[in-house]
Structure 1
């Protein structure tokens, strides 16, 4: 029963589209990538402003292009990104700065590469947690760990809150199926926006149970989903006003 629900989790919620890599990874690329849940850099970005993180990321990419002997990101291949530029060495916060084109410092190609790398971090973590493909719950738990390791700017986004809620619901359902009679590991969060979205998935199941056409039920139509979006908007407005007074 729950397996069908999990398929719905994956099919009914569509976050902003992620772009794909610029080319197919080579064998060398695959070997050079780590299975860690979060990339690292030689500097500590936690204490920097997000604008400074973006500037440093811009410098990092420029240094990579210089090594390649190329102008900006013209015709950059996957081998270039991971073998020479080594975009995988950027931490999650720097990748998010590029992926969101913070400060309008990055090109469309760079944004695409950063989004792909962020997606790869989660994929590698899930694969490492479930190498044989026999423990989907472990893979889902690893995905949550990656999401929880995001920087404050990413965690403040609506997309992150919605994906974090979907990952939590997926893990709890998988763990319940795999370990019947045992409680799943705690993956709850004190993020109120995420909690609204988690509750929305339960409301969706109830609405499907009473609907004449269950397939027509949409999570976006649940009360808690609307509350989550409204709360997120109010938090964004509050933050904008606060920054405006500084």
Structure 2
């Protein structure tokens, strides 16, 4: 992906001059002119932006340009019906902390907004003569339905916040979130016809797998407070990825980088994996029940409830 994206950042940086003028009806960058009528002279005040400030502005522009390029790149793997957008789903791959839809609103309001947005999409599809589900080739129906939702809003659907969402909608949101995580880790998730377009190579060595686990850890650490505080799936994935990363590092004779996090549930699950002497497979654990059924978690089952409560309390969400 790096090679595919490098061209987007060339020649982007620009320099901005901040001055204003006070001429009637015009806006520019010069400060107001001051007339000294007694002397018949004109005094002009100009503001010079420091080189350091310009560098910071240019760095921010470059950062935003690179992010936009990455979002555009991933958007192609989330095809939609004509007239629909999946840009926020693609943004959720690049920056799961971004909130263009949920906008830091209370979580119950995010869920209500997601419900209304999805209902409008259902209605739009019905009015087109092709109701939702008519043709889900390459996932176009689901990407169209939830394409406006950022990662936090997707979690509101997946967790059935407020009881607004059907089982099918919850599972769809979970699948989309898992696909976002996978793509962020360098694991292809998209239409088969675009598999060859995806530029991130598959893991073929311990070092490759370590890099992907590290990328997964970094990605998961950026998700919303609600997801980190209440999702058993988040906790087990975060604990498992750190466990796998450190195990592969030790097996390769490499000192693992420090990816520790202060998160009671993730650390609890990491500890359960560390103490297990058998093989802990990479099962799809999406609920508390799934985790409790894992053989490697047997000696830890009785404490899960209190650990999740401690986690919610840590994030100020113990009433959830």
Q: TM-score scaled to structure 1, two decimals?
A: 0.67
Verify: 1:113 aligned to 2:189, yes or no. Answer: no
Q: Partner of 1:136 in structure 2? A: 209
Distance in 2, matches of 1:238 and 1:62, equals 34
The one of the two structures with greater contact order (alpha-carbon pairs below 8 A, sep at least 6) is 1
Q: Partner of 2:25 in structure 1? A: none
- Higher mean displacement: 166-175 or 229-238: 229-238
Q: Partner of 2:260 in structure 1? A: 188
Verify: 1:231 aligned to 2:289, yes or no. Answer: no
Verify: 1:80 aligned to 2:153, yes or no. Answer: no
Q: Partner of 2:224 in structure 1? A: 151
CA contact (8 A) 2:312 2:318 kept: no
Q: Partner of 1:122 in structure 2? A: 181
Aligned to 2:243, the other structure's residue is in SS state helix
Q: Partner of 2:241 in structure 1? A: 167
* Cα drift, residue 130 of structure 1: 5.4
* Cα drift, residue 167 of structure 1: 1.2
* Cα drift, residue 39 of structure 1: 5.5
Q: TM-score scaled to structure 2, two decimals?
A: 0.53
Distance in 1, matches of 2:97 and 2:222, equals 12
**Cα 1:232/1:99, change in 2 over 3 Å:** same
Distance in 2, matches of 1:30 and 1:109, equals 22
In structure 1, the gaps of 5 or more residues are 1-27, 210-216
Greater percentage in helix = 1
Distance in 2, matches of 1:72 and 1:240, equals 41
Task: Pick from 35, 45, 48 the counterpart of residue 102 of structure 2.
Answer: 45
Aligned to 1:185, the other structure's residue is in SS state coil
In structure 2, the gaps of 5 or more residues are 1-74, 80-85, 188-198, 280-293
* Cα drift, residue 142 of structure 1: 1.8
Q: Greater CA radius of gyration, 1 or 2?
A: 2
* Cα drift, residue 235 of structure 1: 5.4
**Cα 1:202/1:45, change in 2 over 3 Å:** same
Distance in 2, matches of 1:107 and 1:119, equals 18
CA contact (8 A) 1:141 1:171 kept: yes
* Cα drift, residue 203 of structure 1: 1.5
**Cα 1:240/1:173, change in 2 over 3 Å:** closer
For residues 156-178 of structure 1, give each alpha carbon's deviation from its aligned partner in whole angstroms, at most 9, with x where no partner exists.
23332222111110111123334
